[in-house]
Chains A and B, each alone.
Chain A
Amino acid sequence: MAKHNEAIWTSLKDIIHTSKQECVSSVNSESIDEITSEALVLLQNVISQNEDLFLGLIVNDGHINMIMNSVTSYKYNDVPMPEKQRLYAIGRILSVAAKVSTVSCNIVFESFFLRMMEALGISEQTSSRNGVTKGKCILNGRICFGALYLCTELLEACRNLAMESYKEPAYANEIWCSMLHSFSSSLTKALGSALTACNEDSHEKDIYLIVKALQIMATFPQGVLPISEQVFDTVLMTFMSIISRDFDKMLIWKPMLKALVQIGLFVDKSPDSKGASTYAALVIEKLIPLVSLDDHRMPFSLKIEAISEISTTGHNFMLRIGQGLEEAIYAKLFEICGNGNLKSVDLLVQLLECYSNKVLPGLRQTGDSEEVALRFAFNIWNQLEKTSEFSSNFQQKELLDAAMMTMKLAVGICSDKSQTTIIQKAYTLLSASTFLSDSFSSRDEWLISLFSSVIIALRPQTHIPNVSVIIKLFLENVLKAHIPSAQALGSLVNKLPLKISPNKNVSNDFSLEEALDIILSMLNSGLLQTNGVVGLAWIGKGLLMRGHEKVNDIILNFLRLLMSSDGMSPLEDGSLMMSATDAFQILMSDPEDCLNKRFHAIIRPLYKQRLFSTVMPILLSSIVNSDLPITRLLLYRVCGNVISDTPVIALLNEANKLIPVLLECLSLMIEDILDKDRIYSLMLVLSAILMDKSGEEAVIENAHIIINCLCGLVSYPHMTLVRETAVQCLVAMSGLSHARIYPMRTQVLQAISRALDDPKRVVRQEAVRCGQAWGLIASRSLCF
């Protein structure tokens, strides 16, 4: 039997040694090939069946012992590749062996652990010595890669063992446990000093290994041997000192932050344990003051990054960090009210963005987010109430945008009852301010913008007091070109109840019909101006999304504007018509900051398809019937706006009619650089039609004009993506029937030869593919 064991051991050893996979990767996953992983599984099985015999073979293996005795290279780069492979193989073998059982772990530790510690120059901690001798492997604080790698593998293995038998911590008396316990403190100190000695010249794999070893030490099951609380504290303090001090060493900082997050996730699993409270005290409570202090040594963006990442470690930690951020936000707001400067404004923007992007969404998933959100919204309104002077800092658009988004997100989390209290608070403040009809001060803008944000985020069932006054206020501001007011009106008409239910006992409830009466009478009265059109567009969007038929009247209004030009000067005419064109873009858009699911909008399925099928026939017949070139141009632009945002599946049915329109839109917009995003959207639609099987017939019918248009777009100077997409579309066209496309081959190859000289690499590479595709459709004959 022993003979068989030896043969098995030798074969397995060979297989594991021939694995060429990299073991220490900076991404945390170890990817080894299938054969090696199966070999390791087999090794584990045979060890568990014949523990003594197999462990004896491993422990006494000459090869392994030889490598053990020679792991003295300092850095990852100093270890030659073949030796690295051997090292990884041994590491895997020892790791597997130690994980099998407590007994095997003991044997492995007894045989190898002390030698690893000796190689690292670490001795047992005693009361008199700190346990670190400047042995052969510690030079200027650097740690031996080979010995550390093997040590890390053992640590991970015994940690896994500890986790599995956590419920019965009988391992406290085991050999491996007491050995690790006696070295843990000095090992931690040595690793800590090695980490501090690292700099930008250190290899990332050396750094990764040291961080990993410390992380493993800190993630042993809490409160039980072998890792004492003191060691846990030391690890956290080491990490935090690097985070707050060595922020210019990105190679160390980033892995450190990741390790802290992992430790946080681990301790959060047992939130009442000592580990969790230590983590809170040593990490969270040290990070929070960083964002409040005006310490400019550490870049603010890094502070925010650290706080954002750590906030994801657990609910309680997220709550505390949220609280800390709130306080910092209020303090900064107060500061810039007084004087402050652009720097403070920038910091406040970053704080608000962190709160919006990390804290609020993170809390949203848990139960107590409403309390936090309500408190935040209220405190902001309180602060605005106390502020009489709005310094010039408040004119920064970025700041207002960040504040609006945070307010929307906070209000959006709240229940309908809480939302009503927020509206009441805000409305009280608003009605106490006098809005002069001509001027629009900073204060006015802030108050009305934040009020719009509250309205935008309301749930449909929330009761809104004084709706008619609010609507009139928004309408006045719409006519002063205040877009958020227009969006707020859109949100209102999207969510107001259609009719007041006679059973409802709530007074002051307002129905949609009443709201629309007020809005449309004010906007339609007299001459419509550009701002009014924008307002109507947002209102139309709100109605379109819920499927209310009043939207049709609004759309007809826009079309009438496009097609009539009597009674106005050419200048007014032009801008009014352009607004009418752009209105369709608003109708079809998917805005991030309002009228979406996040802010409780009512969305009837397929609303865009319905608009498309209603409006397109009118547009197409108007184009045919119109006399003025300017009108045709505008109608084509409207077609472009509608087509680019309609789902492709709706377009494919009408592809035959739409392709010529699409191509005409492209050719009309090709001159103006401002249209480059519109052109790109239309290109995406065209490529979707070309790629779809059901569009093939229409594409073949129109192949000639498509290729003409694409050949022109291959040289579009304003946007690389347009040129790239045009070339890709030409590649797709090369797959059509030979008879249809062969006549255009020369034209395409000429266009492509210009693209081969494109200033952008990605276009040149596509052009090569395209040239090959079109070259293949004929016999190969190159012209010189």
Chain B
Amino acid sequence: MTLGLINANPVVHAKKERIARNEDFHSDDLVDPLDIYDFVRDIRDPEHPYSLEQLSVLSEESVSVDEKLGRILITFTPTIQHCSMATVIGLCLRVKLMECFPPHFKLDIKVSPGSHANEESVNKQLNDKERVAAALENPNLRQLVDACLYSNEL
């Protein structure tokens, strides 16, 4: 258990302007990366009172979706190479996306290539169903995830 913050001085960027989507009354609205990004961009960082967007952990370009196959792929960039909060962030993303999308969507959550020292093991952990379920049964972890997801509403 490390004392103090993992990354004490993160670089904070401005929030990008939110675009209002045009409604097309005649055709169906397919799920596009911006839909997904809008759900996750405001998730709070576990350590700092900033959103993942402000800390450039996430960007719109890091989201891709294939509606026909029902797959969503998100890659995120932890602020430092040895960030042990990476798994928590990944968990937050998974919980949020599971709430926002129907069960048939498959979610792949990964750290962006080269951004973390233990990239392979982190990716494996983030996409393992049983380990995710076990993590969510841990009340402390659950509380932390809830704080990251819902602190806007409190």
Contacts and interface: CB of A to CB of B under 8 A. Distances in A.
Interface residues of A, number: 17
A784 B99 CA distance: 11
A630 interface: no
B101 A760 contact: no
Interface in B2-60: 21, 23, 25, 28-29, 31, 35, 39
Nearest to B136: A782
A28 B14 CA distance: 26
| Majority secondary structure of chain A interface residues (helix, strand, loop or mixed) | helix
Interface in A57-114: none
B98 interface: yes
A762 B99 contact: no
Contacts of A753: 102-103
B133 interface: yes
B117 interface: no
A692 interface: no
B95 interface: yes
A720 to B, nearest CB: 8
Nearest to B99: A771
B133 A768 contact: no
Given A756-B100, A756-B102, A761-B21, A768 B129 contact: no
Interface string B104-129: 10000000000000000000000001
B128 to A, nearest CB: 12
Interface string A195-232: 00000000000000000000000000000000000000
Interface residues of B, number: 21
A343 interface: no
B28 A760 contact: yes
A782 B98 contact: yes
A775 B133 contact: no
Nearest to A754: B102
Given A761-B21, A768-B39, A780 B146 contact: yes
Interface string B79-100: 0000000000000000100111
Contacts of A759: 28-29
A772 interface: yes
A757 interface: yes
B29 to A, nearest CB: 4
A780 B101 contact: no
Contacts of A780: 142, 146
Given A762-B23, A780-B142, A780-B146, A772 B99 contact: yes
B50 to A, nearest CB: 20
A784 B101 CA distance: 13
A756 B101 contact: yes
Given A780-B142, A784-B133, A761 B99 contact: no
A550 B137 CA distance: 72
Q: Which of A720, A756, A761, A768 has the most CB of B within 10 A?
A: A761
5 contacts: A720-B25, A753-B102, A761-B21, A762-B23, A768-B39
Interface of A: 720, 753-754, 756-757, 759-762, 764, 768, 771-772, 775, 780, 782, 784
